Structure 1
């Protein structure tokens, strides 16, 4: 691209950005945000506080380590499962398990039905 073409392209781009800037100057939302920021900075100056102070008041987790997100709160450890004892009344066989993924227990449930096997719980 020639220097002249590059210059004209940049000139057009600058004109577009100036037009967008002028359009934003008349925006009520922008005026409100500027007014808010001005008043907020004045208030911070009155109390000799910084934005970091305000953030630490509003959200202490963010102020703990600047530049790093706060760690997620740790979950409570899971309660250990209790041992369940099933006794098959037909065979007298006993199964002790902490979960429902026991081979014999699954066979019983498929043969006799889940509700029936649960009634065998001692």
Structure 2
């Protein structure tokens, strides 16, 4: 029995190492690439609904108090990969850069899955429905 526990511990550690080495840990990737603007606890920047003196909106929260869960997977992926201005168009100005040159598509998906994993069931179900998953 003890050897099974040791084997399970070794395998889970190996799996974690593979995830970390491939850069697919969504929570860690979020902290590294997103938290400086969107907050370590997904809380966003203060007064995120009001434009700053530069005319741009501060980074919104990605927790349940924000509007991230109102958007489909496709939109969230494109905003993260290409930047808000590229997705919105019409010369929209945003501080949100695109991470397509920095992150692999799989890493962006991992970050988005991490964010979605923090939402309550109701918001997660709504977001899945608008993404065509239900």
TM range (shorter): 0.3 to 0.5
Q: TM-score, normalised by structure 2?
A: 0.31
Highest RCO, 1 vs 2 (Cα 8 Å, sep ≥ 6): 2
Q: TM-score, normalised by structure 1?
A: 0.34
Of Structure 1 and Structure 2, the greater strand share is in 1
Select the structure of larger CA radius of gyration: 1
